[in-house]
């Protein structure tokens, strides 16, 4: 008998179906020589301090640092966890072979290895390693099972990460809480969360300390083209006025006119971080929301494995691309031109050396169905990016014109798109197309030509740095605090980033939950508690993004077999011991922590019934005519041509005016209770949304 252990019940069900294990038992499927069971997240965890020493249950400075000689694991204290583990342990003890079908990544490997270790597995173990959950991918994976030993380095890296987080989290939090918490608050310290918070606090202080200054610039217009004077910004109005007088009554002369044709390179495939960045910019999704949405698409077999940190694909995928593109039926207007020619095997897209665990996130080619509106938005980002990679480059014309008035030099630049190339895919999306300011057709100038001009003064103010948004914070974490725009440089910085793509969203959410940061519109702001905590930490190691990035690099080296876990553990113990001694003996304890000001609760005022007018809303389908309210539905005034309508009663429930307004103006309602499913009369709750064909669909939950 072979026992397969999947990452969750839904994946186990898919695997069991393919293997022919059709009989459902309590906690597993069985049949055709297989038993398919599952975990659900972490069933095991590292032991807590009091599991090693009863005295370590109490938080005392004199006990620090807590450093077990050998780390142990234990079951998470939960009846459901215990029951499922006992099922797995029983199956493992009575089988001939175990197939690890866990999530194909560092954390997934750790979860399964800990369970097998706790279950005292003594039989051979194979590893299923797949990048999507399609039937084809699962079958191919079972035909190419690998020995578990091939992934020992991955397990070692996961172990190093878990031990490091435990050592710094347990010791750091107890250390700073007992030293500075004044018995009132727990001061949470973490390997990733603390340098992330330090980045946010540093930006806050830079903004607070910024000295806004006025400045003046000299400009002039010649043949309706504006030129800027190439001298330093002027700090006084008087000097600007003198400059303006100097320019008057003198001719403007063109000294250089240069046009260069260039290419805007195609965007890269998505890794998790770049997907989270774009989803935040375009739709306002948090990093955590995007991770959940892309995980949902992966489990629905629509996209490949999401927790990846590469923008490259493996070379063996190249022959599969025509079928993937053909499967993307809703994007056929874009894919036809790509399929008309052989797909190039470019090294900027296909490169085995740039892929470790998994390749970039791409569609699987399975036709999209049964997705929510947010999931569709995420899928659309991935699908368009996937296609854009294989389009021709965007051809632009860059123009630079230099001129002078007597001894003062002036400059003007412009860019014009000559051929859209890959930008064709985004022409309907204003946020993805070059702005109008970039696409400027400049007049033609001849070197040496002269003529009258109109000089002027532009007054401006210096701008402070911008607050982090989730998008820019993710980029900052990825590049260890360095501002990096270039895609090639991003790839080189990834080994030194803060955290991993799969954990960054949770780190940000943790900082929100602990009230160290807050969100104002899209901006992430450090709270007074967060600022006070960072000010308390004198040890630069805890706050430094680059040093934390170096730690991340060592974990990656362990994964590659180029660094030893024992060496890492020794360095870890030395670092924590040094930190403990420094804080206890060398850091003053007179630090004041402030409570966040309580929000003023406004007195409740009597609510008045809001009037809704559908006649003022544009039809979401044709976007030309307005809506009209009939006896049984809201519909487009040009219904004969457009055909859009929404009935008042859906699934046995009459929608309120507010719910109908949300549906036609925001494309979805809030969660509504009391629906009745016509087929069996079951009561449901969920949301209505407009699908791609502008018909009403229902999302349960």
User: CB–CB of 340/260 below 8 Å?
Assistant: no
Q: Is the peptide bond before 65 cis (omega within 30 degrees of 0)?
A: yes
Integer Cα distance of 544 and 198 in angstroms: 8
Per the document, the length of the chain is: 701
| Tokens at 443, concatenated | 């007049």
Q: What is the edge-to-edge ordering of all strands in the sheet holding 28-31?
A: 23-25, 28-31, 34-38, 2-6, 97-101, 125-127, 146-147
| Positive or negative: CA dihedral 347, 352, 357, 358 | positive
Per the annotation, the verdict on 305 as an active-site residue is yes
Integer Cα distance of 220 and 453 in angstroms: 6
User: CB–CB of 589/179 below 8 Å?
Assistant: yes
Integer Cα distance of 527 and 525 in angstroms: 6
| Tokens at 135, concatenated | 């039937």
Q: Which H helix or E strand runs over 654?
A: strand 653-654
Integer Cα distance of 156 and 567 in angstroms: 12
DSSP states along 381-398: HHHHHHHHTTSPPEEEEE
Q: How many CA within 13 A on the CB side of residue 655?
A: 27
Integer Cα distance of 554 and 565 in angstroms: 9
Integer Cα distance of 319 and 633 in angstroms: 50
User: CB–CB of 669/684 below 8 Å?
Assistant: no
Integer Cα distance of 547 and 550 in angstroms: 5
Integer Cα distance of 633 and 648 in angstroms: 5
User: CB–CB of 378/276 below 8 Å?
Assistant: no
User: CB–CB of 498/543 below 8 Å?
Assistant: no
| Tokens at 8, concatenated | 């969750």
Nearest to 475 by CA among 454, 499, 452: 499
The answer for residues whose C-beta is within 8 angstroms of residue 580's C-beta and 6 or more apart is 64, 65, 171, 175
Catalytic pick among 28, 222, 298, 305: 305
Integer Cα distance of 168 and 46 in angstroms: 14
β 394-405/633-636 pair status: unpaired
Residues assigned a catalytic role:
305
């Amino acid at each position: 008998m072979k026992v397969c252990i999947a990452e969750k019940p839904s994946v186990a069900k898919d695997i069991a179906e393919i293997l022919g294990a059709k009989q459902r038992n309590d906690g597993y499927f069985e049949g055709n020589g297989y038993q398919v069971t599952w975990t659900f997240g972490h069933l095991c965890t590292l032991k807590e301090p009091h599991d090693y020493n009863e005295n370590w249950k109490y938080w005392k400075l004199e006990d620090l640092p807590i450093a077990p000689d050998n780390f142990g694991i234990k079951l998470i204290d939960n009846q459901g966890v215990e029951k499922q583990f006992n099922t797995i342990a029983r199956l493992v003890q009575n089988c001939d072979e175990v197939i690890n079908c866990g999530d194909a990544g560092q954390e997934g490997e750790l979860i399964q290895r800990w369970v097998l270790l706790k279950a005292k597995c003594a039989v051979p173990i194979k590893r299923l390693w797949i990048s999507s959950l399609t039937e084809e991918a699962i079958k191919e994976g079972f035909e190419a099972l690998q020995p578990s030993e091939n992934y020992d380095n991955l397990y070692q890296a996961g172990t190093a990460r878990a031990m490091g987080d435990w050592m710094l989290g347990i010791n750091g939090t107890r250390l700073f809480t007992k030293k500075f918490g004044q018995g009132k608050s727990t001061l949470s310290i973490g390997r990733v969360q603390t340098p992330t918070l330090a980045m946010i606090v540093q930006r806050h202080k830079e903004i607070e300390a910024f000295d806004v200054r006025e400045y003046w610039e000299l400009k002039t217009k010649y043949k309706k083209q504006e030129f800027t004077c190439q001298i330093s910004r002027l700090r006084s109005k008087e000097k600007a006025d003198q400059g303006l007088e100097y320019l008057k009554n003198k001719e403007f002369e063109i000294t250089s006119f240069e046009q260069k044709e260039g290419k805007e390179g195609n965007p890269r495939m998505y890794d998790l971080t770049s997907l989270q960045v774009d989803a935040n910019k375009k739709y306002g999704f948090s990093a955590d929301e995007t991770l959940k949405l892309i995980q949902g698409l992966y489990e629905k077999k629509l996209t490949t494995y999401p927790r990846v940190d590469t923008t490259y694909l493996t070379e063996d995928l190249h022959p599969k691309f025509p079928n993937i593109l053909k499967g993307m039926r809703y994007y056929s207007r874009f894919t036809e031109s790509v399929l008309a020619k052989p797909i190039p095997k470019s090294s900027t897209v296909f490169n085995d050396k740039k892929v470790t665990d998994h390749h970039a996130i791409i569609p699987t080619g399975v036709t999209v169905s049964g997705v929510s509106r947010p999931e569709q938005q995420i899928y659309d980002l991935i699908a368009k990016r996937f296609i854009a990679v294989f389009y021709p480059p965007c051809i632009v014309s860059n123009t630079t014109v230099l001129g002078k008035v007597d001894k003062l030099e002036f400059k003007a630049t412009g860019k014009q798109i000559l051929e859209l190339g890959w930008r064709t895919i985004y022409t309907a999306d204003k946020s993805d197309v070059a702005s109008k300011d970039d696409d400027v057709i400049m007049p033609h100038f001849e070197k040496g030509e002269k003529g009258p001009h109109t000089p002027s003064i532009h007054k401006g103010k210096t701008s402070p740095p911008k607050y982090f948004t989730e998008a820019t914070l993710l980029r900052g974490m990825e590049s260890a605090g360095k501002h990096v725009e270039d895609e090639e440089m991003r790839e080189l910085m990834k080994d030194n980033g803060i955290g991993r793509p799969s954990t960054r969203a949770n780190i940000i959410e943790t900082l929100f939950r602990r009230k160290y940061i807050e969100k104002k519109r899209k901006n992430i702001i450090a709270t007074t508690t967060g600022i006070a905590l960072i000010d308390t930490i004198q040890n630069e190691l805890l706050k430094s993004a680059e040093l934390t990035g170096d730690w991340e690099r060592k974990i990656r080296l362990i994964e590659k077999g180029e660094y030893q876990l024992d060496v890492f553990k020794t360095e870890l113990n030395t670092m924590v011991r040094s930190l403990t001694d420094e804080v206890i003996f060398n850091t003053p304890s007179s630090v004041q922590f402030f409570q966040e000001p309580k929000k003023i609760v406004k007195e409740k005022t009597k609510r008045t019934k809001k009037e809704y007018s559908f006649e003022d809303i544009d039809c979401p389908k044709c976007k030309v005519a307005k809506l009209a309210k009939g006896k049984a539905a809201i519909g487009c005034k040009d219904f004969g041509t457009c055909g859009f309508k929404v009935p008042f009663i859906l699934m046995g429930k009459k929608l309120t005016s507010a719910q109908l307004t949300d549906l036609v103006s925001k494309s979805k309602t809030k969660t509504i209770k009391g629906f009745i499913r016509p087929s069996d009369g079951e009561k449901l709750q969920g949301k209505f949304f407009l699908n791609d064909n502008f018909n009403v669909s229902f999302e349960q939950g």
